[in-house]
Chain A
């Protein structure tokens, strides 16, 4: 496989992609969970999404090396796994920060000032959509309608829904989340 080009490490919000010749081994608990998922489906490929999610749950994202390890374990080609991985919004093929912020960019939120909230988040963190802060705390990935349109504008982060946000609440929410992210590391 050709060497991947190393992106400029000094560029804010960008991560080096690990070279594909690096190998990783799946952990025991990953293998156990993946085998559980395989148990439920008539064909191994049927567990692709679940398996990718399991990897991500353990490692935060799915690297090329993980994809290779998964492929070896499941006997599903890396191309097929990557086709699935790149299709879905919630599978990350790049490293993400400790907390992924999902402000809603659906229409009901935007009617209620959602754009302002997203701008405010972006400005406070100094990153654009899809980017990660230099300290690896936050990644910003807006998502479509989060199903809480009567509480607009809203955001999901750390499996929690923040409702009726305004520019004043953004700072507090970030402070709260970053202290929790600190606990994790």
Chain B
């Protein structure tokens, strides 16, 4: 029963080398669905209180406290019904690959979280909104849902608790903006995925105008363990202020790119140098985006920053998805920024001007500089652009996120911008990975 003693790796203890570790049978032999069974013996308000106390923050990027978010859902007999609970599995953030891994390796953990969530808020229907390109994940989630129905973990009167709950899967038709929670709801309603104005917040009026909660895959994964082992255990897992563990990842030119479950607050250096194995031979670290493609660059001097929401905020970047993208010294930073801003320009839903018009304009200026046709005033233009797209000027967080790597590149790699303009060409041209 050692596994039942509070684990230090709650999210990944179910993930083994066995191809079938995703199945209900294997999940249950490792203590799967114990959290749900315990939750069903509690009252819904008690479960919500436990989640609040745990200090769990959303793992989808913004880090909003989950318990607080849920407390806005109307409860009681006169609350609107049905209520919906949605897993945001539309992962498409550049450099983020943690949700796909969880979906493929541990679908039942996500479903267990979704059922616990449903019970907590007395919701009626759960959805898994999953990226259409994640074929294996879709197949496994579908099978896992069926296994749950067969085992009486879904449907009417779950485990004799009197709680009824169904889960459906929606495979997305593909757009990054579908990950934004109100755009996701529109997409689920069969519409174009434009974000909605808030208020009303989805907690009050979401899918089909009914109370709706949207949370990230990894957020849901944490719930059963919090119920099973208690909020104090969860808080104790973190190395700094933030509670729990996190699936961290590193990609780019490091020796052993991958994903690992580690305590919140693990320093960036440890992630890149120990778990990521350090830079590949012949490459030096030039910088990194700590939390995926819409977070600000950090550099060597920030390596000892703990991956903790507040600490990363202090050095002016974001935890984001917790998946680090490493930039090496042979890849042109401007080319990296072009790739990112182009992506965001392409995925803009077109609703507001700074995003729809501003981002393609940014790509144009950046390409001009990259191709050696830039002028010094272009740098000012780019800086102005980052201000136009700042939070508050756009409908959703896509555009502000898009300019984060740009504004920080202008700060940390200004010399590179100037060199491109002065030399009239890309100084990285000789690097083996560019332009060929």
Q: Is A98 an interface residue (CB 8 A)?
A: no
* Interface residue stretch chosen among A15-23, A109-117, A171-179: A109-117
B24 within 8 A of A: no
- The residue among B131, B173, B191, B347 with the most chain A CB atoms within 10 A of its own CB is B173
Residues of chain B with a CB closer than 8 A to A69's CB: none
- A88 touching B175, Cβ below 8 Å: yes
Q: Which residues of A contact B176 (CB under 8 A)?
A: 144
What is the CA–CA distance of A105 and B327 in the complex, to the nearest angstrom?
16
Contacts of B188 in A (CB 8 A): 46
In the complex, how many angstroms separate the beta carbon of B109 from the nearest chain A beta carbon? 18
A49 touches B339 (CB 8 A): no
B173 near A111 with CB under 8 A, answer no
CA distance A107 to B328 in the complex (A): 12
Of residues 165 through 181 on chain B, the ones whose CB sits less than 8 Å from some CB of chain A are 168, 171-176
Contact indicator A87/B193 (Cβ below 8 Å): yes
- Chain B 289-317 per-residue mask, 1 if CB under 8 angstroms from chain A, else 0: 00001000000000000000000000000
Task: Tell which of A42, A45, A84, A112 touches B252, judged by Cβ atoms closer than 8 Å.
Answer: A112
Judging by beta carbons under 8 Å apart, are B293 and A107 in contact? Answer: yes
The answer to whether the Cβ of B258 comes within 8 Å of any Cβ in the partner chain is yes
Least distance between A161 CB and chain B CB atoms (Å): 8
Number of chain A interface residues as a range = 35 or more
Report the Cα distance A89→B192, complex, angstroms: 12
Asked, given contacts A46-B190, A144-B92, whether A90 binds B132 with beta carbons under 8 Å apart, the answer is yes
* Residue A102 interfacial (CB < 8 Å): yes
Our pick among B191, B253, B258, B436 for the contact of A112 (Cβ within 8 Å) is: B253
Of the four ranges (under 10, 10 to 19, 20 to 34, 35 or more), the interface on chain B belongs to 35 or more
Give CA–CA (A90, B171) in the complex, Å.
11
Of the candidates B91, B99, B174, B253, the one whose C-beta lies within 8 Å of that of A88 is B174
Partner-binding segment picked from A2-10, A24-32, A131-139, A148-156: A148-156
In the bound assembly, the distance between CA atoms of A106 and B293 in angstroms comes to: 9
A41 adjacent to chain B (CB < 8 Å): yes
Q: Which residues of B contact A65 (CB under 8 A)?
A: none
Question: Are B94 and A49 closer than 8 Å at their CB atoms?
Answer: no
CA–CA, A116 and B434, complex, Å: 9
A84 and B192 contacting across the interface, CB-CB below 8 Å: yes
Residue of A nearest to B173 (CB): A88
User: Hey, what's the 0/1 contact readout for B321-343 against A, CB within 8 Å counting as 1?
Assistant: 00101111001000110011001
Q: Answer whether A87 and B249 are a contact pair too, CB < 8 Å, given A106-B95, A147-B97.
A: no
Do residues B436 and A46 form an inter-chain contact, with CB atoms below 8 A? Answer: no
Smallest CB-CB separation from B209: which chain A residue? A42
Closest Cβ neighbor of B177 among chain A residues: A87
Given A46-B190, A105-B339: A149 and B257 within 8 A (CB)?
yes
CB distance from A136 to the nearest CB of B (A): 22
Q: Name the residue on A nearest B188 (C-beta).
A: A46
Take A41-B190, A106-B95, A111-B336 as given contacts and tell me if A150 and B173 are in contact as well, using a CB distance cutoff of 8 Å.
Answer: no
Q: What are the residues of chain A within 8 A of B250 when measuring CB–CB? A: 150
Q: How far is the CA of A47 from the CA of B188 in the complex (A)?
A: 9
Q: Is there contact, CB below 8 Å, between B253 and A111?
A: yes
Partner of B325, one of A40, A48, A108: A108
In the complex, whether A127 has a CB less than 8 A from a CB of chain B is no
Q: Is B409 positioned at the interface, with any CB of A under 8 Å from its CB?
A: no
Contact A145 B191 (CB under 8 A): no
Q: A40-B168, A49-B187 are in contact. Are A107 and B325 (CB under 8 A)?
A: yes
Question: Roughly how many angstroms separate A53 CA and B326 CA in the complex, as a whole number?
Answer: 37
A104 to chain B, nearest CB (A): 10
| 9 extra A-B contacts, CB within 8 A, seeds A107-B343, A112-B252, A113-B433 | A89-B174, A108-B94, A111-B253, A111-B325, A149-B97, A149-B251, A150-B259, A152-B257, A159-B135
Task: Give 3 nearest A-B pairs by CB, closest first.
Answer: A88-B173, A149-B251, A89-B174
- Chain A residues in the interface with B (C-beta under 8 A): 40-43, 45-50, 52-53, 83-84, 87-91, 102, 105-108, 110-113, 115-116, 119, 143-152, 156, 159-161
**B residues whose Cβ falls under 8 Å from a Cβ of A:** 91-97, 99-100, 131-136, 168, 171-176, 187-193, 208, 249-253, 257-259, 293, 323, 325-328, 331, 335-336, 339-340, 343, 346-347, 433-434, 436
In the complex, 26 of the A-B residue pairs with CB atoms within 8 angstroms, ordered by the A residue number, are A40-B168, A48-B190, A50-B190, A52-B173, A83-B192, A88-B193, A89-B173, A90-B173, A90-B174, A105-B339, A107-B343, A108-B251, A110-B336, A110-B339, A112-B252, A115-B436, A116-B433, A116-B436, A119-B436, A144-B94, A144-B343, A144-B346, A148-B100, A149-B96, A150-B259, A156-B133
